[in-house]
A = this chain, B = another copy of it.
Amino acid sequence: MFPHKSALMSMLTGALIFTVSGAFADPLPSWNDTDAKSRIISFVETVTDPASPDYVTPADRIATFDNDGTLWAEQPLYFQLIFAVEDVARRAKDDPSFASTDALKAAAARDYEAALALGKTGLLEILAASHANMSLDQFNEAVAIWLDTARHPKTGRSYDEMVYQPMLELLRYLRDEDFSTYIVSGGGIQFMRVFAEDVYGIPPQQIVGSSTTSTYEVIDGVPTIMKGADLFFNDDKEGKPVGIMHHIGKRPIFAGGNSDGDFQMLEFTTSGEGPSFALYVHHTDAEREWAYDREGHIGVLNRGLDESEERGWLVIDMATDWGTIFPATSQ
């Protein structure tokens, strides 16, 4: 009935060796040995140490991360916008009548400049054509096709390989230390769910994002969630703390972002009574990634740069703090 005693001893010894090697293993191997890395590890060790006055119970170890520019890249355009254009092009190939407006025609031709030149109305047409008036299952399938087939114009990688290796390690490290990791992004909640579990290890129920209204209909006897075109929730800026308290119902103790759209999430996270940690990913590496902050259309970071030091928020300098940017590709 019982395992043999020597087998028991061997199991125990194995467990001890595993524990010891775990304690000495570097949880963030792609991070250079700079202040950034040591500040993160120091915070995690403090809040997980039952003897520390700043100990935080696992149920309250909530960590929230922006996605675009924080967990994966966002240049030359938000990837979800690239998906929208590519998806219109794919549909128009099957059915040329699908490209029924100037904006959709530009998208069908993958003419980003022409599409963007049409302004907000054109953009909304392209987003609606690729995101609305279809079932959630159809949408999920379209995103999966895009991830399988599309390649980033600069790196040739699939878009879900344009993720930051140091952040993958940080997510895993936090989970290993009994944090719950969430995405809180201005991107689409259903869009991210298609890849977030495989790529980040973050399951669907831990994704908070923007969304359009959706409806429940029984179509030809099949209960179906239909995606609509009207905005339901804008998970950006002030919307991020609102989305957090709506979905999670608890204030995070750890938050990461890369733009002023994340400012309020970091502010809210660091205004609780207990210990907390906030970080900005600062895009400083034109060679290995992109360098941008105060100007442009994407990932603008002004207030965050101005106030991080006085607020005690970590600003990660990608060029010096990260030894690797992207993971080894699957090819």
Contacts of A12 in B (CB 8 A): 2, 8
A246 within 8 A of B: yes
A136 within 8 A of B: yes
Q: A222-B271, A225-B242, A271-B223 are in contact. Are A248 and B215 (CB under 8 A)?
A: no
Question: What number of copies of this chain does the assembly contain?
Answer: 2
Q: A223-B271, A246-B189, A271-B222 are in contact. Are A264 and B205 (CB under 8 A)?
A: no
Task: Decide if A249 touches B204 in the complex (CB within 8 Å).
Answer: yes
A297 within 8 A of B: no
Task: Decide if B245 touches A214 in the complex (CB within 8 Å).
Answer: yes
Give the CA-CA distance A69 to B9 in the complex, in Å. Answer: 53
Residue of B nearest to A214 (CB): B242
Contacts of A218 in B (CB 8 A): 267
CB proximity to B under 8 Å, residues A227-261: 238-242, 245-250
A200 within 8 A of B: no
Task: Decide if A248 touches B216 in the complex (CB within 8 Å).
Answer: no
Task: Decide if A238 touches B267 in the complex (CB within 8 Å).
Answer: no
Contacts of A286 in B (CB 8 A): none
Residue of B nearest to A238 (CB): B216
A203 within 8 A of B: yes
Instruction: Identify A205's interface contact among B9, B204, B205, CB under 8 A.
Output: B205
Task: Decide if B250 touches A205 in the complex (CB within 8 Å).
Answer: yes
Known A59-B203, A214-B245, A215-B238; 4 more pairs at CB < 8 Å: A2-B9, A205-B249, A211-B246, A223-B271
List 6 tightest A-B contacts by C-beta distance, closest first. Answer: A204-B249, A216-B238, A216-B241, A223-B271, A205-B248, A223-B268
Binding site for B on A (CB under 8 A): 1-2, 5, 8-9, 12, 16, 59, 136, 180, 189-190, 193, 203-207, 211, 214-218, 222-223, 225, 238-242, 245-250, 264, 267-268, 271
